[in-house]
Structure 1
């Protein structure tokens, strides 16, 4: 759990993913399209990936990936991020966290 918090706070936008997950790829593409350059942590490529997956589940991440953190705070998974994008608040969250600039 400490590792998740540490990694999530190292950069303004952080996404925990799995390399084979289509929805993870979509969320990463969305962030890149907006102009953000998030830190990406591929759980299936990390030696402690299983432990981090369990830690994400204990935070309420279901499914555990993609798990998006902005400004060190858990924002949600794919459906949550898409909802934020649709209502226009995702970009403002990224601006507030200094993950993108206008």
Structure 2
């Protein structure tokens, strides 16, 4: 699903952070492919996999706040998940960080999502 298009956003309808990422990309002139996981068959399973992917770079020992976090909160942390050029870019923090430091537009150009 993520490699079929230049930019793919896994989202949940009604999620404000998902809305922010989608609006940012649209504002830059990118038309991302959006999968609303609460409306997709197997969306909960996809969301669980995304939660694992997005948490992979963190340390192997869980923090106290992680161990007490509910399963629903962990699932919501999995969105938005943004893939650029078939590779996981990250969630809202990573997308915004790349936008602020100026690296997002070159990534989008390299993936073929922007031509100018």
Say yes or no: TM over 0.5.
yes
Any conservation in 1 of the 2:54–2:91 contact (CA below 8 Å)?
Answer: no
Query: Structure 2 regions of 5+ residues with no counterpart?
Result: 56-73
Task: Give the aligned partner of residue 43 of structure 1.
Answer: 37
User: Could you list the per-position Cα deviations for residues 31-70 of structure 1 after superposition, in whole angstroms to 9, with x for gaps in the alignment?
Assistant: 0000101100000011210010111112125610000000
- Equivalent residue for 1:69? 83
Structure 2 residue 13 is the aligned partner of structure 1 residue 53? no
Q: Is the 8 A contact 2:25 2:31 kept in 1?
A: yes
Please state if 1:12 is matched with 2:6.
yes
What count of residue pairs does the alignment treat as equivalent? 96
**Mean Cα deviation higher: 23-32 or 59-68:** 59-68
Choose from 22, 27, 32 the match for 2:26: 32
SS in 2 for 1:32: helix
Q: Which of these residues, 85, 94, 98, is aligned with residue 108 of structure 2? A: 94
Runs of 5+ consecutive residues of structure 1 not aligned to the other structure: 1-6
CA RMSD across the alignment = 1.0
- Structure 1 residue aligned with 2:70: none
TM-score of the superposed pair, with normalisation by structure 1: 0.91
